[in-house]
């Protein structure tokens, strides 16, 4: 539990983010060949020290989450108690681009794709699975959460 609510138990794998809208056919084809239009990529294959390496995006892990079998290779397992990953661009303030502020997206939107296996849920609590800074009404970004029994 943190000031935002409860952390959700989950395994994450293969996070992709494009700063433009992409059709489902594009996403399916993408897994065969990487696209030049990809803004961020975090494969979640390994933890180096306390960092998850990625393309344009890195992650700092907290409270020792481990890698487990994922949908593609390995994924990061979060225990739902106190583990989380802080994704960031080491060279930029995410609030200055589409990933941190959706109003800055070009071409009519953005596309976020990742695999997530949800663990146990407490139906009485809000649980945060992913956020790029959009977890409060006054902030910007993207949030994936369990709220009122819905994802």
Compute the Cα dihedral for 72, 75, 79, 84 and give only its sign.
negative
> What Cα–Cα distance (Å) separates residue 55 from each residue in 78, 94, 124, 141, 145?
21, 14, 37, 19, 25
CA distance 92 to 115: 25
Residue 83 clears pLDDT 80, i.e. is over it: yes
pLDDT in tens, 42-59: 888 999 988 888 877 778
Q: Kindly report the pTM of this predicted structure.
A: 0.72
């Amino acid at each position: 539990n943190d000031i935002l609510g409860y952390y959700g138990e989950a395994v994450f794998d293969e996070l992709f983010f494009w700063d433009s809208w992409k059709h489902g056919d594009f996403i399916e084809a993408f897994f065969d060949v990487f696209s030049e239009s990809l803004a961020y990529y975090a494969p979640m294959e390994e933890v180096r020290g306390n960092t998850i390496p990625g393309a344009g995006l890195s992650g700092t892990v907290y409270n020792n989450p481990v890698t487990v079998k994922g949908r593609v290779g390995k994924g990061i397992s979060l225990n739902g108690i106190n583990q989380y990953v802080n994704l960031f661009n080491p060279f930029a303030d995410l609030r200055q681009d589409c990933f941190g502020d959706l109003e800055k997206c070009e071409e009519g939107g953005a596309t976020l794709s990742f695999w997530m296996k949800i663990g146990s849920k407490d139906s009485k609590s809000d649980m945060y699975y992913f956020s790029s800074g959009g977890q409060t009404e006054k902030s910007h970004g993207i949030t994936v959460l369990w709220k009122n029994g819905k994802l």
